[in-house]
Amino acid sequence: MSQAATDYHPMWESLGLDLPSHDALLAAIPVMYADAYLSQTGRPEGMSYFDFVLSEIHGLRIKELLDHKAAGGTVIGTFCLYVPEEIIRALGGLCVGLCAGAEWAYGEVERILPQNTCALIKSAMGFKLGKVCPYAEACDLVVGETTCDGKKKAYELLAEMAPLHVMELPQMKRPEDRTLWRAEIERLIAKLEEVSGRTLTAEALAAATKEVNDKRRALQRLNAARKASPAPISGKDALLAVQVAFYDDVPRFTTMVNKIADELEARVAAGEGVGAPGAPRILVTGTPMAIPNWKMHDVIEKAGGVVVIEELCTGSRYYSKLVDETPTDLSGMIDAITDKYLDINCACFTPNSARIDDVIRLAKEYEVDGIIQYDLQFCGPYQIEATFVTRAAQDAGIPVLRIDTDYSAGDVGQLSTRVEAFLEMIG
Ligand code: BJ8
């Protein structure tokens, strides 16, 4: 978040940001980043790209978005994995994730939302109300979705502050739900055509599908390397790569992640890795972790564990499945997108047993010593589903620790004590 090279204040002012508040935010994040990231030893050299991205997160990337708009493109904000980036890109849009991972303007937020709303929703609303997120202010359209009740109702308030389109996401995965979801994707296409002034073509959608698949393939490579023991990259660094995937330039990101994957594969071949010898290997599952929420990984890795895989929307749920690239006509491509996105396993669905199966499968593939079930307080879907995760882990003989938390630093001491005891037990 350095402002040393370029003064972006005129750009931020043009977006209507609250400059003093925004300056305060930009002053806080490098401190958190240095503590969580730059304090690590033995990082892959390729992570310097992400250090740079973080240093320019509200600078260069925002300028790129504004240049794209000036050249006739659009910027589309999203809050959920179910919104297909392929369609946004095929219609000349750049997709940016708007979920936020830090407490901001909670006083204002709690005037319109109940105090017992999850941190992810409160934070996103706080960044909007506090006018400190240039991504939110750069959007031509924000796309919401009917996932959990909190988000669904918060979007009604957000609609008073931003142009908003809400996709109706079914809650089950039966054939009739798939029909509904395909119609919702068609409705999104119509909305994006209206906003962009363009018409969706098979050629553009095929190209966008390949680009986004390539991004996911690069993340698959990076994360496959983590199966090795020792893991060649920390969980924090791997998490950061997925967090950045939500708003970085897609081809550039893909190139840089493939370079890191090359480096990790060489490290694995050389038997090099992170963490102390024999450090417990941990799978983290639960609610998403938006930037700059590195809290759980930081606690685990400072306590001596190594996170080797995340079953999260900022983890395997984001990159593990690809859109089928074989259809050649527009309708077939939209079918492929419909199927891929409906195949995401969010706790908003019932039943959602495929997620539980994924957790156990990943735990075995990555040879973990324990599972940490991480949930944001007041997230009913994931907190309730934690019972099924715990049961399945116990049935598979894998130790599991359940953590319910928020974005504050207030419980870090207590979490550290619990995680240290857990690691000692499984180590
Ligand atoms: S696909 S996980 S990104 S909805 S933590 S706001 S669920 S109360 S974020 Fe999500 Fe899409 Fe599902 Fe992924 Fe509600 Fe829970 Fe808050 Fe959540």
pLDDT of amino acid 4: 53
Query: Which two tokens mark 324?
Result: 């089928």
- State if residue 359 touches ligand 1 by the CB under 6 angstroms criterion: no
CA distance 169 to 342: 9
Rounded to the nearest integer, the mean pLDDT of the chain is: 97
User: Which residues, other chains included, contact 97 with Cβ-Cβ below 8 Å and sequence gap of 6+?
Assistant: 77, 78, 79, 135, 246, 247, 290
pLDDT of amino acid 2: 44
- Cβ distance 371 to 398 under 8 Å? yes
Q: DSSP for 217-269?
A: HHHHHHHHGGGSSS-SS-HHHHHHHHHHHTTS-HHHHHHHHHHHHHHHHHHHH
Separation of CA 348 and ligand 1 centre (Å): 8
Mutate to test the pocket of ligand 1, among 109, 118, 147 (most ligand atoms within 8 A of CB): 147
pTM of the model: 0.97
Taking alpha carbons only, the member of 154, 135, 136, 134 closest to residue 144 is 154
* Residue closest by Cα to atom 13 of ligand 1: 313
pLDDT of amino acid 311: 98
- State if residue 341 touches ligand 1 by the CB under 6 angstroms criterion: no
Phi, psi values for residue 373, rounded to 5°: -90, 105
Q: DSSP for 367-399?
A: T-SEEEEEEETT-HHHHHHHHHHHHHHHHTT--
Sheet with strand 370-376: strands edge to edge: 306-311, 281-286, 370-376, 400-405
- Tracing tokens 């940001």 back to the chain, one arrives at 17
- State if residue 123 touches ligand 1 by the CB under 6 angstroms criterion: no
Can you list the residues of the chain whose pLDDT is less than 70? 1-4
Work out the number of other CB atoms within 10 angstroms of the CB of residue 299.
24
Separation of CA 147 and ligand 1 centre (Å): 7
Separation of CA 174 and ligand 1 centre (Å): 21
Separation of CA 83 and ligand 1 centre (Å): 13
CA distance 178 to 342: 7
